[in-house]
Chains A and B, each alone.
Chain A
Amino acid sequence: MNNCEDQESWEIVHIPDKPPFPPHQQPTVNVYAAVIDPKHANTLIRKLNQILPLENLRHVKRVRKQHLDEGSTQLSVILCLAGENNSQVDIIPQEVVGLIDSHQLDTFITKVCRYAPLSKEEWVEQCKLWPTSFHPPTYNISGITGFSQEESQLVCKFMKLALDLAKSKWQMVNAAVIVDPSTNEVIARTCDQVYSCSCPINHEVTKNHDNMLLNSSATEEPKLSFDGVSCLNPWGWSNQKSCDSWHPLRHAAIVAIEDSAARDRNLFPGGQHDLAEIDHVEPALTSPSPKKQKTISMDVNDLEELNSHTNGCHPELSRPYLCTGYDIYLVWEPCAMCAMALVHQRIKRIFYAYPNPTAGALGSVHRLQGEKSLNHHYAVFKVLLPRESLNRGIMSLVSKGDHAKKPSNMPHGVSL
């Protein structure tokens, strides 16, 4: 029933780590800087990088070289972050004050761009304030630079699966499908279980549901309520009517993670948790250097490969390390709890169909994919649905032919 021949009308949009800004209006932070004598440049920079590395401003160059009118050049160096008003001399760290005194530096406050540039255009604008470095994406592991037709079809197929799950309940809920993209195997498929724990897993959506929803949306304004979508309304669990079994925190993504963990334990029993380096606060205690993270992920890959050869139970399967390498399809953008759970469980990519203006944590309210301190980062994509799919039951489409795809009758000021 899920034909994807119309996938041209689907659109997969990458949601970047930082909010989109016009190149010339990028957010900035204030820093203390000083003009330095080129003779002392090496020593000073080494000392500064040692006592005060600019962790969250790695894209910003520590030194700026300016060509002055007379043909000479001038070097300036960033000392430390400054407050947003100008009376914050007291927050310059003692070591930096020491350097300022010993080199008799005249400090000044200047602006640097807060986020790394995502395009050459942005980079050019950033360098007008203070030089930054630009690393264009050289890989397409996550589809950030685009999807092939085949990949798009799969994305469309799995999103439809999630949509079918979401609308097959007695009220609109969120649904989650975890997929291993290397085999296209569905690892878990779940719905919100906040109000009821009976999820129609492993059976197709009944014709009746389809017809009912189709009719309601075709003939009149759909009277669908979104209050049951737990990530949209996470505080409202106690006001909703429900069956006997309910749980305020069993959002679809949480249940999906639980199911995938149960699958892992079933397929790969045995006490040796070779790969279970699971964090709670652990990265707070380990080196945050990207080099190290790279090493770890390579180790994981090596081990996964190793396991695929040595695991006696399922030699054809490799034991997953949590959800490393897996994708999750969600109908609604997840809340902070679910989005962080997906960080913990090491999901590789998140696809969602509708944004979540009340509690969304992947761009709407928070943007976890851009929180540099987290020890894992997934790529996030919004899947814009074509009219056909919307008419098949989720909601009616107001605009035709454009990409606004704005349905009517959204509560809580939801705009898609």
Chain B
Amino acid sequence: MRPFLLPKVRNHLHPKSATISTQSRPLRLHPCLRRPLLSSAATTPPPVLSTVFSLMASCGDREYLDVVAFMKLALEQAKIAFDSLEVPVGCVIVMDGKVISCGRNRTNETRNATRHAEMEAIDVLLDQWKKLKLSKAEVSEMFSKCYLYVTCEPCIMCAGALSFLGIKEVYYGCANDKFGGCGSILSLHTMSCEEAGGKSYKCTGGIMAEEAVSLFRNFYELGNPNAPKPHRQPVQQP
């Protein structure tokens, strides 16, 4: 297992979430993990870090526990993906304190690599709202009240989609060092074109990141059974 995700995760950890999830064993830091401090990640500001602290400042313990509770539901979705031999990412969408949609990665099943958890959950909502005959303006209004909880930082595609929809806020688990669109590679949550009607959304990472990473770790340690052979040999199950 390559602990590439760990440092960012650690950087972004909310002090409270650290007590919840990650103190059981020390995080091993590979030396090259220091790079995020130096490379482009340092110049593109730690949006996550700052928002973590603003989260800390802006909400009380109970709200933070709510965030954790919703992330646990997202992790359950990720586990469903895992059990379906999909890359384990899951999410829930919350409005007015209630979960109104959920989704998990479905890329292998559909052979469509864009069917990420976020896209699945968004489509569930659009279907619901269209059945209710909501107008586009009403749907747009609804999205602006939605909170997304996703186990891994949205990729560039999903981060763009969330910006187009005008989502209110995103909480994620671990950072996505290779594809992340909410601070890691691009910052689409803050870079929308305002003249064209784009709004930015608040994004907070590091929520139960260790759990999200450990799901990935389990998935890839088993060897992705769907990977082109012999990507990494699956461990033979007894």
Contacts and interface: CB of A to CB of B under 8 A. Distances in A.
Contact of B87 (A51, A235, A280, A336): A280
Given A257-B112, A336-B188, A341-B114, A56 B39 contact: yes
A282 interface: yes
Nearest to B126: A247
B32 A280 contact: no
Given A249-B164, A280-B155, A373 B185 contact: yes
Interface residues of B, number: 72
Nearest to B33: A93
A228 to B, nearest CB: 13
B58 interface: no
B62 interface: no
B160 A299 contact: no
28 contacts: A52-B31, A53-B32, A56-B40, A81-B38, A83-B42, A84-B43, A91-B38, A234-B164, A235-B164, A235-B196, A239-B197, A242-B136, A273-B226, A274-B228, A276-B108, A276-B111, A276-B226, A279-B107, A280-B117, A296-B228, A299-B231, A322-B113, A336-B157, A337-B157, A337-B158, A337-B160, A337-B161, A346-B113
Contacts of B108: 273, 276, 278
Nearest to B8: A284
Contact of A261 (B105, B112, B137): B112
B89 interface: yes
B181 A373 contact: no
B31 A51 contact: yes
A53 B227 CA distance: 28
B4 A285 contact: yes
Contacts of A56: 39-40
A258 interface: yes
Interface in A323-377: 335-341, 343-346, 358-359, 361, 365-366, 368, 371, 373-375
B34 interface: yes
B91 to A, nearest CB: 11
A239 B137 CA distance: 7
Contacts of A233: 196-197
B193 A358 contact: yes
Contacts of B112: 257-258, 261, 345
A275 B228 contact: yes
A381 interface: no
Interface in A15-66: 50-53, 55-56
Interface residues of A, number: 77
Nearest to A376: B113
A134 interface: no
B176 A51 contact: no
B40 A277 contact: no
Interface in B76-125: 87, 89, 105, 107-108, 110-114, 116-117, 119, 122
Contact of A277 (B34, B35, B160, B224): B224
B111 A91 contact: no
